[in-house]
Amino acid sequence: MRVLAFLYVFISSFCFAQAETPQSQIEVVSPQIEKLNTLDNEISKLAKEASTMTGSARDVVSLQLLNKNNDLRDVIESLISNRTEETQPLLLTHVHQQVTFISDASAFFLKKIEEGEITLDKASSEEKLIAQKKLDEARRFSTRLLGEQWVNYQWLKLLGEESPEKVQALIDDIDHRLEFMSASLTFDSQQEEVLAKQLKSASEGEKSSVQLLHLLAQRKVASDTDSLQFLVQLADKMKLDTAKYKQQLFESTGNLTKDLLDAKVIMSIIATWTSGITLWIYQNAPQILFKLLIFVAIIFVFRLLKKLTRKMVKRAVSSPNLKLSQLMQEFFISMSGKGVFFIGLLIALSQVGLNLAPILTGFGVAGVIIGFALQDTLSNFASGMMLLIYRPFDVGDFVEAGSVSGKVSHMSLVNTTIKTFDNQIIIVPNSKIWGDIIKNVTHERVRRVDMVFGIGYSDDIVLAETVLNDIIDAHPMILRQPEKTIKLHTLNTSSVDFIVRPWVKTEDYWDVYWDVTREVKMRFDREGLSIPFPQQDVHLHMVDKKT
């Protein structure tokens, strides 16, 4: 606010000069002239009030003065656009007053900028932010005054009083300030980058002081960028070449503007990038090639280690002493190879200069996100792990699981592939299998074949038992131990039923079942034993019609 107060003091002194405008120049009657006279009187009164006030009251009146002067400039611009011979002298007087005021104010702010830079260098850590703010404010006002002065000179040109020497001096000043602000932005940006790197590696004791310096650097960069943007816009009005400054602003801020459509700006950016890429390749190509060679060599070595590890693990898990299922063996073999290759990949990436900490952190964050997104898949994965641990079946077993019957042809941690007896492939999610009843038909090496055969009530029971025993004893695939079971089991409604339960190897189950069934039918026919089928007796009662 102190900088603003100084500016308002200048406005006040300028307004006293306005109040002294000859009466003969303002007697021309028009709405705009009347508004101009009104603003002159209001500014004069406010200036007198400001000279007698102090503190916040003076700041308020000074702000009013600044707003009134802006209104005055708008009226002057409007009158110049519709000027007449009668208003020419009055407008020249006001424009000259504006030129004088801007010149005095510019000199004042240049002095304040020099004082502010000295104050900033001597300020303590606690006072640097306030000093920097005041300095940035003074620079901003000084830069904006250049734009107003350029407008003043344009007004004088329209009023027939050109000042080529003053205009050229202003253009030279703008050009000089462009170069200075460009260099300042480059320097402050480099300082900000250095402090940003120091802040990451600073200890807890150093962090507070480095944070303060980094904040100051950020504010300097923002102030430099704002000033350079304004100067570039002003220089464009003066037909100066600003391509390199627009390129710098684009590289500094990354903002896409219509200036990028300028061919000169585009060519300047391309030339800079090409030069930078060429220089970077020239300086870093040998090192990059060497790192790439190391990367490829590490990947190649770990691919060999992956194959070697898989072979070693396969040999280890295939040992009969471990009694691991086929699924468990495949799991260990697959994970061992992938684990070795993943470690090799991390080592290779670290050799090319990649920081692994953010990558590993990213994997952790991604794992949480993926976990929420793939809950069903993770449920299948968990069920697969339970199947892997408890081993209710293995690859090649005939099972009834997940409402599907067939042979297990393949299994992963997510799903199980079952081939049905009619050669269909059904893929069942592991959560369906683990959450349902699992029936493993071929888990045991020996199975009992349960069969039932019936004879008629008039047939010889002893003969039937003899025939059944002969058939079972004669079959080569039926085991002697455990012993068979042949017993009269049920006196059914139409038959006398025998149970026949021999023991066989699991793989011989259906062969024995079909062979015994066929042989029983043939032997019963030869021995005269009947195989009854359901019958009903129908009794007819005759009714006498006479009754």
For position 360, what pLDDT does the model report?
Answer: 65
Give 342's pLDDT tier (boundaries 50, 70, 90): confident
Domains and CATH numbers, the chain: 2-257 (no CATH), 262-373 (no CATH), 392-440 (2.30.30.60), 446-527 (3.30.70.100)
- Enclosing H/E stretch for 500: strand 496-501
Indicate the range of 172-176, 254-258, 301-305, 504-508 predicted with least confidence: 254-258
For position 461, what pLDDT does the model report?
Answer: 92
- Say what the alpha-carbon torsion angle 392, 393, 394, 396 is, to the nearest 10 degrees: 180
Question: How many helices and strands (H and E) does the chain possess?
Answer: 15, 10
Closest by CA position to 3, among listed 69, 63, 67: 63
Task: Report the percent of the chain where pLDDT is more than 70.
Answer: 80
152 and 132 Cβ atoms separated by less than 8 Å: no
pLDDT, one tens digit per residue, over 344-403 is 888 887 777 666 666 666 666 666 556 555 556 777 778 877 877 777 887 888 888 888
CA distance 118 to 45: 37
Q: Which two tokens stand for residue 392?
A: 């209710």
Please confirm whether the linkage preceding 286 is cis (ω < 30° from 0). no
Helix intervals (H) in 318-436: 326-351, 356-373, 375-390, 430-434
Q: Which residues contact 505 (CB under 8 A, 6 or more apart)?
A: 445, 446, 447, 477, 479
Closest by CA position to 184, among listed 134, 209, 137, 219: 219
pLDDT, one tens digit per residue, over 434-490 is 888 888 888 888 999 999 999 999 899 999 999 999 999 999 999 998 999 999 999
For position 272, what pLDDT does the model report?
Answer: 57
Give 188's pLDDT tier (boundaries 50, 70, 90): confident
pTM for this prediction? 0.45
- Taking residues 258-269, what's their average pLDDT? 53
Q: Which two tokens stand for residue 135?
A: 């300095």
Given a cut of 90, is residue 512 above it in pLDDT? yes
CA distance 57 to 50: 8
Given a cut of 60, is residue 76 above it in pLDDT? yes
Residue type, 28: V
Paired residues of 504 in beta bridges: 447, 478
Q: Which two tokens stand for residue 88?
A: 């020419």
Given a cut of 50, is residue 7 above it in pLDDT? no
For position 25, what pLDDT does the model report?
Answer: 43
Q: Burial level of 421, CB count in 10 A (0-12/13-18/19+)?
A: exposed
